[in-house]
Amino acid sequence: MIPLLLLPGMMCTGALFREQTAHFSAERVVQNAPLNDHRFVHTLAQHVLEQAPPTFALCGHSMGAIVAIEVLRQAPARVKGIALMNTNPLTEIPSVRQKRHPQIVKVRSGGLLEVMRDEINPHYLADEEDSNDILELCTDMAVELGRDVFLRQSLAMRDRPEQSKILRAIRVPTLILCGEYDKVSPLGRHQMMHQMVPGSTLAVVSDAGHLPVLEQPIESNRHIQAWLHACDSRIHADNLG
């Protein structure tokens, strides 16, 4: 079976995919790729490829999906399937861009925990009241990664390229997944991507926001499993041909 390579979102470690790693590692190699050491999307993608298996199915969340699209652009023959979750292939809109500078200033002055707790985490979940453990995990991941990673990732997101042309050229099994109530990357963005990618599957996870892999892991895994099956079947058919 094709190895599964997971790319986490901004200020997330491999713990974001704890449910997926536990589930899918029973049947295939699962590798989490950190996105911590570079401040441009293209250099992050280069680093991912240096650490990746020769061929793989690629699954990215949010910022990780943006890097995943760039990985596909740089090495299309190595990516046998791609899953893009809770993301946005467009350049950053001005209103979001304007919020980054004060956040960067705060974090440079030691306010990482404040920015994550008060400005970023509250937008992640569909139901915050019943998800304190997820918010705590988000905070723990951010603290583990630290100030410098936040600064590099913020600049990478701010300066990211427009990726629509790459999406229109995708010809491998593609899953586009989002939470029903995602406030960071709304459903409309994913419907747009679904229209761009020929033959793609759009999966909307009910009762989830920006983190369906944590909020609704069983439903998320079901969609990922179906996509992986399509990747494996495509490779098998290509080998027979």
pLDDT in tens, 201-240: 999 999 999 999 999 999 999 999 999 999 999 887 878 7
At residue 129, does pLDDT exceed 80?
no
At residue 186, does pLDDT exceed 70?
yes
Band of residue 173 on the pLDDT scale cut at 50, 70, 90:
very high
User: What percent of the chain is predicted at pLDDT more than 90?
Assistant: 87
* Residue 239 burial class via C-beta count within 10 angstroms: exposed 0-12, middle 13-18, buried 19 and up: exposed
| Mean pLDDT, residues 98-115 | 93
pLDDT attached to residue 99: 86
pLDDT attached to residue 182: 95
In sequence order, what are the beta bridge partners of 84?
60, 176
At residue 198, does pLDDT exceed 80?
yes
pLDDT attached to residue 130: 62
At residue 180, does pLDDT exceed 80?
yes
| Mean pLDDT, residues 62-66 | 98
The pLDDT mean for the chain works out to 94
Distances (CA, A) of 204 to 31, 85, 114, 201: 25, 10, 31, 10
pLDDT attached to residue 237: 80
**141-150 tens-digit pLDDT:** 999 999 999 9
Domain ranges of the chain: 4-93+155-240
| Mean pLDDT, residues 81-86 | 98
pTM of the model: 0.96
Helix axis angle, 132-145 to 147-158, nearest 10°: 100
- Tokens for 197, please give them: 């990618």
Q: Which is more confidently placed, 121 or 229?
A: 229
Domain 4-93+155-240 has CATH 3.90.78.10: no
